Structure 1
């Protein structure tokens, strides 16, 4: 894997952005990942009040020129991941070039609350199409008594619209399928996926729910779902709310 950082002033100034690039690149290299830091080796120019939001101030123009000059390098090297640091029009240009050659882009701290995450999730995205009526409620876990998937099915039967996807393996699969067929008709799917497919599975749903009893410890699927920006509905118990 090859990763590139675009940082106009790296090696010249030490803002938080440059420290971020320095620390992250070192850790990536320690893991044997190839890293290039692409810099203009020049101090960043002044920002003008208000005008900077149009990216037409001196700093915005500096970043735009720097980025355009390096698009050819990104195309030749075809980095697996490009991380634009300077903001402005830089992420847009990088998004286009990486899309053209099939690379990925990770944005950090540039687009306002939530928007960086939306971009990154979309970029690394892909989501499962369950071919079911939406909204899709997903429950992930072993198909045994302890996970109470039957309770999830019965609860979903009280919802007039939408579908239920249960992801997991276990001895109760046939029993759960019979129950779902009787009260959900065609609004359900019970299946399983390899772990590396789970991000797409979560992104294909609208909400995750679990009905595990109170004595269960905090379950990792909650964190996995939230990491893909999927809302979760779980028991209001100490282990899941603290």
Structure 2
């Protein structure tokens, strides 16, 4: 299953067809061994190739040395630097904010408020992540899951509190937990919607510092209710399309909330919430932001 930032980059390119958008991807990175040096080496090599034909906009997605090297490149050229709050509320994005990009993209208003406390002088714009409502829809094929219901679905990655989710579902003594990702079932992104549609509740107990969570949008677009951590970012994304837990480490509270979500009649609330994040709408916001940037 692709990382969220990789899905984001591909979708951004697809929804801006009027522009030439080149995605330059590093060879496979070993994220367990000195990945910062690997990314720095790749970034240096890439920027050398761009020296003779610098782009109008440079938008690095891997932070730290990549952000710093791209800033230095943009200072030597007329290239505009765009940085986004992909890392969330922490040191990586604090560095990005103090690099003074031409614009810093925040994915929620809550994130923008945090950014302004870090660097009040930074130029920001709020553009949420998007979801492809053509792929992610309540109607369509479902993954064949021979599992007891209700089926709770989650994704595994750092900062997702996956062990708490496992413990909470186990405490229910009913239903099943389907884990997609690195420690669960690996599913190509082009068919992951089938698994959302086959489940009853989506849950993801993200760290409050996490920047967004594209999987929330994908689940809601398939009309799945969500159980998530109670923090300003998740509230802004999910609104009334799910239930919230104050502390996922409190397993009894987490389990009770999962049960309540499975037993609630949600109608089309999740799908209607996801419609607010349609890539068609989000792409127009990027079009406006990039046009302003180039006209400045």
Per chain length, whose mean CA-contact separation is higher, i.e. which structure has more relative contact order (CA < 8 Å, sep 6+)?
A: 2
TM-score, normalization: structure 1?
0.40
Higher radius of gyration, 1 or 2: 1
Structure 2 length as normaliser, TM-score? 0.33
